[in-house]
Amino acid sequence: MSKPVLLVTRKLPEAVQARATRDYDARLNLDDTLWALDGAEIARRATATGAAAILCAAGDAMNAACIAALPPSVKLIATFSVGTDHIDLPAAKARNIPVANTPDVLSFATAEIAFTAMLMAARRAGEGERLLRAGQWGGWAPTQLMGVTLEGKTLGILGMGRIGQAMARMARGFSMQVHYRNRNRLSPAEEAGAVFHADDASFLGAIDVLSMHIPGGAATRHWLNAERIALLKPGAIVVNTGRGTTVDDAALVAALKSGQVRAAGLDVYDGEPKVFAGYLGLENVALLPHMGSGAVETRDAMGFRALDSVDAVVLRGEVAPWAV
């Protein structure tokens, strides 16, 4: 019997592609060409191949028009990401196509990159590396590249989901106090001593570092705007590893220039891979290329989690274990 077709939009880790090929007639993207930036092309390929499922990734154009044009053969959209902002979920619901993502397995790795960005911003690590690579380091100096320590500082976590909670655990090891802002207050066990804030003003005014872990989409667009930046303590640090759309870039650049925000560490951008030009000339912002989940173990686990959902729906006719 022929294997069901699995349309894979991006090049995936070898072990993930090997499993996909073992169990499906997998249409891989070995060159990692960016055809999935075009929603019509995704639908065209799904139709041409009679795909039973689509394994897509962050940034793919799984928009309403694409989903409306998918053939009836498609039983599942599985995304190689925890974020689903690239998928029009109401459109998928209207077509009765379940959507599955890859939660949990990337929480620690993404928190690691949030922590890296926080350290780079606080301790001016990017500046130091640029100085050295430019051949401009004249040797140790008592006042050179002085940053601020994280020890004893208050970390404010916006979005205390799995990634935010992983970041909180790491921060305790750095002797930081943790405060958080979230739709709902967590249970005492999940809070583990973190201080909940029911409103933005008390949250932003209480913290030294803001780490943003909220999803993208219309509801969170430009959450960090000039008004909220003004509520931060002068000289606060801003870290964003969630989605770039949640920050008003012009407002953050203005605050980085004025000193209202001392430094920032960013891993995600509005309209990425484009990066807001205002950041590029600033020394006090560490810029990483959306690498939160980019650890070998994590990327394998994400692929396997996505395939677990495809197996359940396509091979066994069950509900996807990681349906959103």
Q: Is 222 part of the annotated catalytic residue set?
A: no
Question: Smallest gap, in angstroms, from Cβ of residue 58 to ligand DGY?
Answer: 4
Active-site pick, 197, 243, 262, 305: 243
Which CB sits closer to ligand DGY, 246 or 284? 246
Question: Smallest gap, in angstroms, from Cβ of residue 295 to ligand DGY?
Answer: 10
Which CB sits closer to ligand DGY, 214 or 232? 214
Q: Which residue is nearest to ligand DGY (CB)?
A: 83
Which CB sits closer to ligand DGY, 82 or 310? 82
Which CB sits closer to ligand DGY, 13 or 292? 292
Question: Smallest gap, in angstroms, from Cβ of residue 294 to ligand DGY?
Answer: 7
Question: Smallest gap, in angstroms, from Cβ of residue 287 to ligand DGY?
Answer: 16
Q: Is 290 part of the annotated catalytic residue set?
A: yes
Q: What is the Cα–Cα distance from 155 to 190, expressed in whole angstroms?
A: 16
Binding site for ligand DGY (CB under 6 A): 58, 81-83, 106, 292-293
Question: Smallest gap, in angstroms, from Cβ of residue 57 to ligand DGY?
Answer: 8
Which CB sits closer to ligand DGY, 81 or 260? 81
Q: Is 243 part of the annotated catalytic residue set?
A: yes
Catalytic site positions: 243, 272, 290
